[in-house]
Structure 1
Amino acid sequence: MSNINHGSALDGRVFWPSIAVILGVTIPLALFPESGNLIIKQLFGFATGNFGWLYLIAGLGTVVFLLWLALGRYGHVRLGRAEDLPEFSYFSWVAMIFCGGIGIAIANWAWVEPIYYFDGPPRGLASHSKEAAEWALAYGQFHWGLTPWAFYCLPAIPIAYSMYVRRQPGVRLSVAARGILGDKANGWLGILLDTVVVFGIVGGVGTSLGLAVPLVSTMASNVLGLQPSFGFDMVILCLWTGLFGLSVWFGLSKGIKILSDINVYLAVLLLLFVLAIGPTLIIINGWSNSFGLMVNNFVQMSLWTDPIAKGSFPQDWTIFYWAWWIAYAPMMGLFVARISRGRTIRELVFAELIWGSLGCWVFFAVWGGYALDLQLSGALDVSAILNQQGIPATVLAILQTMPMANLVIVVFILLCFVFLATTLDSAAYVLASVTSRELSGYEEPRRWIRITWALLLAVVGIGLIKVGGLKAVQTSTIIVALPLIPVLGILAWSLLRMLEQDFGKRLSSPTLTVDSVASSSQSAAAAEGSHYAYGAAPSPAAPLSSNQ
């Protein structure tokens, strides 16, 4: 394996166009926030209003495709050669997947999203009714469950396959699409695709910063007896930058993995505490009931556009979320692919769809159930605080209802710090990988490139928070999701072509040929003079792998 400190050089073909696009969008939004916001809102309304059905079909189709892939004949294909063992323990691998994909967002929304649904319920239900309360928990689990994780998982498989099975250089979406794009992946089309991915990642991190800084600032100000201010926000942001900068500096094994492990332990500790001190039986019953509602109505919820009543719930929530997950999917696909060497396709699909979804469901069941019970029991008017003072003040008010409130708030602040840091270090790592020239899946990008992106993310975040342009950048990022839908289709098609070329005929045969030489049209590795060696017929105990 190459020395992790000596990855390939910076690729200016992707780096400079990406910087140009980021500046070209953020600077006008900073200078002309009102007109910029108006244009972005119109574009977003056009995308979701006219193509909302496409986002919904893409969501359900992605779930179905991945389940077919994992449970079918390609499920045992190993993402690597026979000598490629998993780089991380199963726990650390799942922890990095979960923390990189969810981050600080769930620390906001798990508490308050059911309250939003309780105030403005779907399906024509009366606000603040018993039915609205039941569906509030169900929709929280739906919007953070199988479909989001399917969007995250889909690009990871062809990227990992191209890196570890075909050994194609370049940790990029364009490389994974080479099965369809061919040599065009090396030209302007590939550069355009990778530039859009970089912009989407920066915008996604901007959203995380926009959620995190006000939340932690409110919490820390309360604990320290200070008044929230821009200066205090910048102190918090600098501390975050230092934390995730160190994590990125130390790399995957010594930085990102350790931070993700700590994150999971802290989250489990706080979840168990809330479950213990809260209405435990009500929370468990609420989770069971809402899970049943979601499973029983999954297809209908996945395709509901409310065409007759023309309510705004599908557009405001489901379509918005699906657009957001799609926009963030390339970043997660690249990151998960990089840490999934040696895993099978089935392992990867199940890790994201089962463990990722289960992790989110637990947050919404416990934290959301606790908040909803405060509202229903009359112990705290969560809805009024949310509508009048916003999310940070609402989360603070909820935490203050608990025993040892000050200690709980301190632990929650620490959890938020680590949660966001795991997302930011993953983002900086992926950005460095995408903008490195022909980086292999066995290398890490150079440290100076990683740190450069860490600092750039912080600078963009500070500038946008200062001028109030953060919301417009978030929305413009989500608009990128519309052209990314066909990109996801291209990646799925590319994956199937590569699998069919490398394994298709052998899987359909009752026996497999040992030391079969693949033709040059079947794999890039064969074109370089190597060959695939196949063992016995595939079985659950013997995942398929390509040998050099």
Structure 2
Amino acid sequence: MNKVRTGAALDGRVFWPSLIVILGITIPLLAFPKSGEAIINQMFAFSTGSFGWLYLTSGLAVVTFLLWLAFGRYGNIRLGREGDAPEFSYFSWVAMIFCGGIGIAIVNWAWVEPIYYFNSPPMNVAAHSREAAEWALTYGQFHWGLTPWAFYCLPALPIAYSMYVRRQPGVRLSVAARGVLGDKANGWLGVLLDTVVVFGIVGGVGTSLGLAVPLVSTLASDVFGVQPSFTFDMVILALWTLMFGMSVWFGLSKGIKLLSDINVYLALLLLAFVAVIGPTLILLNGWANSLGLMINNFVHMSLWTDPIAKGSFPQDWTIFYWAWWIAYAPMMGLFVARISRGRTIKELIIAELVWGSLGCWVFFAVWGGYSLNLQLSGVLDISAILTQQGIPAAVLAILKTMPMSSVVIAGFVLLCFVFLATTLDSAAYVLASVTSYELSGYEEPQRWLRIVWALLLAVIGIGLIKVGGLKAVQTSTIVVALPLIPVLGVLAWSLIRMIKTDFGDQLEHGEVVFAVSQHPVAKLAEDAARPVMLEPMPVPLRE
């Protein structure tokens, strides 16, 4: 068997334990949903209640570390060898990063999250007050801004460094942690780490399916004039599976890249439409004001635990969100690392922290501002709809306030399909990579394995929707985020150790340095003896 086939072959050490863990947790939750959900809710309350301070301080620490890394002496290190050009255009690269990391969640929450904050505001301000309205827009920007994208970015750096500078085979977190774990990364500790990662990905994506199907089912039912039902949900899920299955079949360049490009263009079109037909000046003023509030209070918001009043807002929102982003971070790290060959450390950090945050801010500024204005002006009581009928009905009611509402709803349904498909195809691709044997950063996992994971994700989604076990699996996935916090620390430490080991004292501020790795890596590519180039590379503002 040649080397390529060996590297892309199924690695049963990770695949089978991962499958056993997924089934071992999911089946009891489905069979005994009330008992399982009660136990997991207790675990979640303990982790967020007792360790909420840890989630918050970790978020601020990760943002600080990445800024230091980007603008310090290591920022110009290229994630690749000399001659390794970027695999994708800058626009397509950023599009894949954004669409893979956000998915349908942004189009679900951007409309309604400010309304929740308006009804139950942070900082102990009065509900439905002017201050509540200002903080409602601000916290949407905060919860979907710098800190979430910093969580996503951190794992990508050591993984990409391991794949493209050291040329170490294996698209896994355990390989990226080898700078600290050493040979233990090849043993049971590495398998355990990768198994936890696979479970987190499957649980997170299964949750996304569980959230997305009811939303799209409600909207599509209105478009086609049919009654929502489990059968209709399954038709929607089947179409989704076909879409992201085809995307993951065609791979990165012909499938995932194309779908992400379409996704961004469609999202920009709908955002521009709402900005034009809505109260444009109010939306712009609200965005500027909320950004100012967030920047001025960023450290306070990042560490606010409300210890005196003991309100539940930090636990219900900020700590919950930070745990959710951490749970997704390994998947995003693996996917972004795979598509970032030839980029510098600074480029990668800016792409995620700046462009990722900016993309989310635009959604909340336009769609969140539009819905909050409907609430404040009395045109639509979104708060009452949320309380009585839930999020899908509220989103539908908001869309119906727009001109050509039937066309808008149809376009929004299409956007939902594409947005979730870009997350699902990224997840299936990453799962296939993690469960492949010593896959290099220059190979793609085998097609049959990509399709297997795509179908598994669909089957898990069907089961969760059918029995209503979604909340328990979602919560159990977030509980996994607690042990992942020290893992993020290990990955950051591993990156710095690998850089110092490889380049020693040869790093100079802002200079072009040629160096040969001083660390003996057993399975480097044939060109491992060629020098590694660290060259300053300005981040392009456009493609």
TM-score (normalised: structure 2): 0.96
- 8 Å contact 1:29–1:36 — kept in the other structure? yes
Cα shift readout 1:426-469 (whole Å, capped 9, x = no counterpart) = 00000000000000000000000000000000001101110111
Letter in 2 for 1:397: A
Partner Cα distance (1:534, 1:201) in 2: 33
Q: Retained in 2: the 8 A contact 1:168–1:440?
A: yes
Compute the displacement of 1:526 (Å): 8.1
Aligned-partner Cα distance in 1 for 2:273–2:223: 20
Match of 2:316 in 1: 316
Supply the distance in 1 between the matched residues of 2:199 and 2:72 (Cα, whole angstroms): 35
The answer to whether structure 1 residue 60 and structure 2 residue 36 are counterparts is: no
- SS of the aligned residue for 1:314 comes to helix
Kindly state the Cα deviation for residue 184 of structure 1 after the two structures are TM-superposed.
0.5
Deviating 4+ runs (over 2 angstroms): 2-7, 508-514, 516-521, 523-535, 537-542
Whether contact under 8 Å (1:178, 1:494) holds in the other structure is yes
Secondary structure of 2:94's match? Answer: helix
Q: Does the Cα contact within 8 Å between 1:152 and 1:329 map onto a contact in 2?
A: yes
Change over 3 Å in CA distance of 1:407–1:538 after alignment to 2? closer
Per-residue CA deviations over 1:161-203 (Å, capped at 9, x if unaligned) read 0000000000000000000000100000000000000000001
Give, in whole Å, the separation in 1 of the partners of 2:373 and 2:511.
Answer: 59
Shift of 1:83: 1.3
Q: Distance in 1 between matches of 2:524 and 2:246?
A: 40
One-letter amino acid matched to 1:433: S
In the alignment, the residues of structure 2 paired with residue 196 and residue 206 of structure 1 have an alpha-carbon distance, to the nearest angstrom, of 15
Q: Secondary structure at the match of 1:138?
A: helix
**1:133 maps to which residue?**
133
Q: Distance in 2 between matches of 1:11 and 1:525?
A: 17
In structure 2, the CA distance between the partners of 1:390 and 1:512, relative to structure 1 (3 Å rule), is closer
**Equivalent residues of 1:179, 1:498 under 8 A apart:** yes
Tell me the matched-pair count.
Answer: 539
Deviation string 1:372-425 (CA, Å, 9 cap, x unpaired) is 000000000011101111000000000000000000000000000000000000
| Whole-Å separation in 2 of the counterparts to 1:304 and 1:468 | 34
1:228-267 matches, cutoff 5 A = 228-267=228-267
Distance in 2 separating the partners of 1:287 and 1:528: 52
Contact 1:156 1:337 in 2 (8 A): yes
2:151 paired with 1:151 = yes
Query: Partner of 2:418 in structure 1?
Result: 418
> In 1, Cα distance between the equivalents of 2:242 and 2:509?
55
After superposition, where does 1:165-204 map in structure 2 within 5 Å?
165-204=165-204
Task: Give the counterpart letter for 1:164 in structure 2.
Answer: Y
Q: 1:106 to 1:519 in 2, by over 3 A?
A: closer
Contact 2:502 2:519 in 1 (8 A): no
Q: Distance in 2 between matches of 1:534 and 1:207?
A: 41
Separation in structure 2 between the aligned mates of residue 57 and residue 298 of structure 1, nearest angstrom: 12
- Conserved 8 A contact 2:502-2:518: no
Residues 344-493 of structure 1 aligned to structure 2 (within 5 Å):
344-493=344-493
What amino acid sits opposite 1:316 in the alignment? D
The unaligned stretches of length 5 or more in structure 2 are none
Corresponding letter in the other structure for 2:279: P
The 2-side partners of 1:73 and 1:67 are apart by 11
Q: Would the aligned equivalents of 1:3 and 1:443 in 2 still touch at CA under 8 Å?
A: no
Identical counterparts, % of pairs:
78
Match of 2:529? 531
Give 1:502 deviation, angstroms.
1.8
Partners of 2:344 and 2:147 in 1: how far apart?
21
Q: CA deviation at 1:529?
A: 9.3
Deviation at 1:524, TM superposition (A): 5.5
1:506-545, aligned counterparts within 5 Å?
A: 506-508=506-508, 518-520=517-519, 530-533=528-531, 538-540=535-537
Does the 8 A contact of 1:10 with 1:435 survive in 2?
Answer: yes
Q: In structure 2, do the counterparts of structure 1 residues 530 and 222 end up closer, same or farther at CA, with 3 Å as the change threshold?
A: closer
Does the 8 A contact of 2:55 with 2:319 survive in 1?
yes
2:87: which partner in 1?
87
The letter for the 2-side match of 1:214 is: P
| Distance in structure 2 (CA, Å) of the matches to 1:159 and 1:511 | 24
Alignment of 1:332-343 (within 5 A): 332-343=332-343
Structure 1 runs not aligned, ≥5 long: 543-548
